[in-house]
Amino acid sequence: MRRNKAIICVDDDRLILQSLKSQLSDAFYSAYIIEAAESAEEALEAIDFLAQRNVKTVMMICDWLMPDIRGDQLLVEAYKRFPNMTTIMLSGQADEAAVRRAYEKGNLNDFLAKPWEEEELIEKIKKLLPTER
């Protein structure tokens, strides 16, 4: 079965990123390509690379605080490429007003505080993923 949809995980902390990718791979590998990026720039490059290969990034799960840009800024850039992409923000230190603005702009679908419970994250993802697989 050819997987032509992807979920991308973005976090500058390598251990968190590996954990996130592992959890998602276990739960969604049969239906989705699971990509990981350590920066906003890497994430946007991955989205573009996948698109060139006819793989649509349907979801981005990203950290709030990263060294290059904040997660809400990344969502704005990702939204330009795929306006229907579903997004989840992960953070232990998010600015409440900025999270609210991201929701209001339509760039953010859900938020989950770190550390997260794997079951809660997987359930959120299942609820937010497009129904057609």
Q: For the domain 5-121, what is the CATH code?
A: 3.40.50.2300
Span 55-66, pLDDT tens digits: 998 999 998 888
Predicted TM-score of the model (pTM): 0.88
Cβ(22)–Cβ(36) under 8 Å?
no
pLDDT reported for residue 133: 42
Is residue 66 within 8 A of residue 39, CB to CB? The reply is yes
* Ranges in the chain, pLDDT < 70: 1-2, 93-95, 106, 131-133
Residue of 33, 39, 30 lying closest to 21 (CA atoms):
33
DSSP, collapsed to helix, strand or coil, labels residue 112 as strand
